[in-house]
Amino acid sequence: MPIGNSANSLKKPLLLSLRSAIFRVGVALGICLTGNAASAQEASPTDAVDGLVVAVEIGIGTVNGEMRCGPPRVRLPPADVFELNIINNADIPALFAAPKFFEAARILDRNGQAFNSVYGGFVVDPNETIEIVIQTPPVGEYYYVCSNQDEQPTIRSTGFLIVIPRS
């Protein structure tokens, strides 16, 4: 059974904006999820202006019926508070799971969203965004995956949340 009906679900651009003292680090889903430059894509909240809570966006969509998630690498400074926005542009629900990350991190606010402790993540409805405020866990690499119940994750639906040491 196909997942999604076209690449158009990935072409909704992510815009940079300053909203309620949140600086968004946007990643254009049309580039990072098509696979053309996915391995080179990386998001980092370290460019934030002092005193602002930084938001990192991870996008979910479908291309030719295959679920994709990106960017494949997200760099985070240790012990900082940031907002993780998980954006599902697909026309089906998706699970965003990062069990070791969420186990080690401190979730400060999940905006009423239910945490799925079985999978270690959140179910994101079609065309919805989940906003989670998190204090980063200890330095390390934490695997994440975007999937649905009908398919196995692929290299294009997985990535790493990388907590980097302070320089």
Give 10-residue mean pLDDT values along the chain (167 residues): 38 28 30 34 50 82 91 89 95 95 94 90 95 94 90 90 90
Residue 134 and residue 78 in contact, taking contact as beta carbons nearer than 8 Å: no
Say which amino acid occupies 74. Answer: V
Alpha carbon separation from 69 to 78, 86, 112, 146 (Å, rounded):
23, 10, 23, 6
Quick one: pLDDT at residue 87?
97
Cβ-based neighbours of 14, under 8 Å, separated by 6 or more: 24, 26, 27, 28, 29, 57, 59, 87
Quick one: pLDDT at residue 12?
31
Domain spans of the chain, in order of start: 7-163
- Tell me: cis bond preceding 77? Omega within 30 of 0 counts: no
How far apart CA 154 and CA 149 sit, in angstroms, is 13
Domain 7-163 annotated CATH 2.60.40.420? yes
How far apart CA 62 and CA 60 sit, in angstroms, is 7
Residue 81, phi-psi category: left (phi > 0), alpha (psi -120 to 50), beta (remainder): beta
Alpha carbon separation from 39 to 43, 71, 85, 92, 158 (Å, rounded):
12, 8, 21, 25, 11
**Can you give the pTM of this predicted structure?**
0.70
Quick one: pLDDT at residue 132?
95
Quick one: pLDDT at residue 44?
53
Copy the structure tokens of residue 13: 């651009």
